[in-house]
Amino acid sequence: MIAMHASAPQYDVVIVGGGPGGATAGMVLARAGKKVVILEKTKFPRFHIGESFLPRNFPLIQELGLEEEFKKLPHVPKLGAEFGMGDDFNSSRFTFRIGLLPGSPTFNIERAVFDEMLLNAAKKSGAEVRENVLVRQIVRMRDGDVAVMTDQGEITGKYLFDASGQSTLVGKHLGTRHPHKSKHLKRIAYYQHFEGVKRLAGEEEGHPAIFMSEEGWFWVIPINDKVTSIGLVMDAEIAKSLGVPANQILQWGIARCPVVRDRCANATGPEKNDVIADFSYMCKPYAGDGYFLLGDAAAFMDPIFSSGATLAMMGANEAAGRIIDVLDGKMSPATARKKYIKLVEGSTSIFFGLIRDYYTHSFRELFLNGQGPLNVHGAVISILAGQVFPKPAWALRWRLWFFRLCMLVNRFYPLVPKRKMFSLREQQVPTETPDAEADLASIGT
């Protein structure tokens, strides 16, 4: 039943948040002639972490007609990825070409410029974009009748899209935001941008690198000609126990990680790192009476496989399409919700599963080995490329199950060479400067 309030709603859809999720939805809705407003609390361009994109993102950018705009932005082509232990200079590298399903090359990019391009595209498509507008609370949410209170007054619409990222406006309002059960997913990320970081040669230059340790893992992602994003994602309890100030943990880690330290030998960057909570959560159901949750407002996943921005944009595209059907009288709100929830559940659950696998040593041993029977590695790479929409193909799913069986067997009967877990805490800092402050000097800051 569609509820109607006394006065007609101002908009067909009110979107909270102008990141990749909100901007994509706004663009698609406006192009379909719907009256849509995007309420964004900051002024773009604004900094955001999350700079590496899945191959599945590039065809979406093409479908949205944004390829030309995108190519004007400084970015680094990403053809594959690099994984290794923090003390192992023989990392494993793969390209998406060897995936079981064909995948396109993708990119790493500074989010400030990418997100601004998307928000401008939404504006050009006819969406009303209101920056520096903070949504303070939800006033009501019913199919056909929603209202939010902003710092500039009340705004009404027929549907609410929550794309507020980790603010999870609706999840908090409804009390549906729940942390993921796995203890492995209570993490904190310490990150910073550097210049002068050593890169791989040739077509491997844009490979995001993941270097693993017992305490957490580093990302090293070239995002334009000069800048490389480096982060350390750590178990929250271990990070607390180090006794190192939070804004120096990245430098503490780099100084103790031979491979990252080597890449940073001539690097320059700020002395202190930024910090962001990295606790995986879900706000189920992902759609309900009057609302759809997009991207991180629906679920946040550990960023090990760089899936967040792509899943946000793919989900936003789907939510917008279904609400266009509803507004055009071609679909009931209940059916629209069902279809949307199915898509988001299908794509997020396979990633949640792989992330859980990644935090087991057996997965890392098999994955770093780089090959296996029945093209299981090709299947895992295709999933990591984002070939999971509308749902992962059978050819990928059964190989993933087989891979998991191998993980189990490998724990008791080694199927691949054993790898010793590398520990940052056990490392000696290779200078006469053991304290965190002096560590900064050793990486050239």
Ligand X SMILES: Cc1cc2nc3c(=O)[nH]c(=O)nc-3n(C[C@H](O)[C@H](O)[C@H](O)COP(=O)(O)OP(=O)(O)OC[C@H]3O[C@@H](n4cnc5c(N)ncnc54)[C@H](O)[C@@H]3O)c2cc1C
Q: What is the DSSP letter of 78?
A: E
- Report residue 257 as tokens: 């990680």
Quote the least distance from Cβ 171 to ligand X, whole Å: 12
Q: What is the rounded distance in angstroms from the CA atom of residue 288 to the CA atom of residue 279? A: 24
The DSSP-derived string for 421-434 is PP-STTPPPSSS--
Q: What is the rounded distance in angstroms from the CA atom of residue 248 to the CA atom of residue 190? A: 8
Specify the residue, 167 or 442, whose C-beta has the smaller distance to ligand X: 167
User: How far from each other are the two terminal CA atoms of the chain, in whole angstroms?
Assistant: 61
Q: What is the rounded distance in angstroms from the CA atom of residue 320 to the CA atom of residue 328? A: 12
Residue type, 345: E
Under the phi-then-psi rule, with left for phi > 0, alpha for psi from -120 to 50, and beta for the rest, what region is 47?
Answer: beta
- Report residue 84 as tokens: 């290794």
Of 132, 115, 129, 149, the residue nearest 36 (C-alpha): 129
CB atoms closer than 10 angstroms to residue 445? 17
Quote the least distance from Cβ 414 to ligand X, whole Å: 32
Where does residue 373 rank: exposed (0-12), middle (13-18), buried (19+ CB within 10 A)? exposed
CB atoms closer than 10 angstroms to residue 301? 21
Specify the residue, 39 or 350, whose C-beta has the smaller distance to ligand X: 39
Specify the residue, 49 or 429, whose C-beta has the smaller distance to ligand X: 49
Interface residue list for ligand X (CB under 6 A): 16-22, 39-42, 48-53, 134-135, 163-165, 167, 169, 189, 231, 276, 278, 294-297, 303, 306-310, 312
- Report residue 47 as tokens: 């900094």
Quote the least distance from Cβ 222 to ligand X, whole Å: 12
Where does residue 6 rank: exposed (0-12), middle (13-18), buried (19+ CB within 10 A)? exposed
Q: What is the rounded distance in angstroms from the CA atom of residue 73 to the CA atom of residue 324? A: 30
Of 155, 167, 170, 215, the residue nearest 189 (C-alpha): 215
Specify the residue, 100 or 169, whose C-beta has the smaller distance to ligand X: 169
Q: What is the rounded distance in angstroms from the CA atom of residue 320 to the CA atom of residue 318? A: 5
CB 190 within 8 A of CB 44: no
Helix and strand numbers, DSSP H then E, in the chain:
14, 20
Specify the residue, 221 or 407, whose C-beta has the smaller distance to ligand X: 221
Quote the least distance from Cβ 442 to ligand X, whole Å: 24
CB 164 within 8 A of CB 20: no
Specify the residue, 108 or 410, whose C-beta has the smaller distance to ligand X: 108
Specify the residue, 17 or 216, whose C-beta has the smaller distance to ligand X: 17
Quote the least distance from Cβ 360 to ligand X, whole Å: 21
Specify the residue, 42 or 369, whose C-beta has the smaller distance to ligand X: 42
CB 161 within 8 A of CB 13: yes
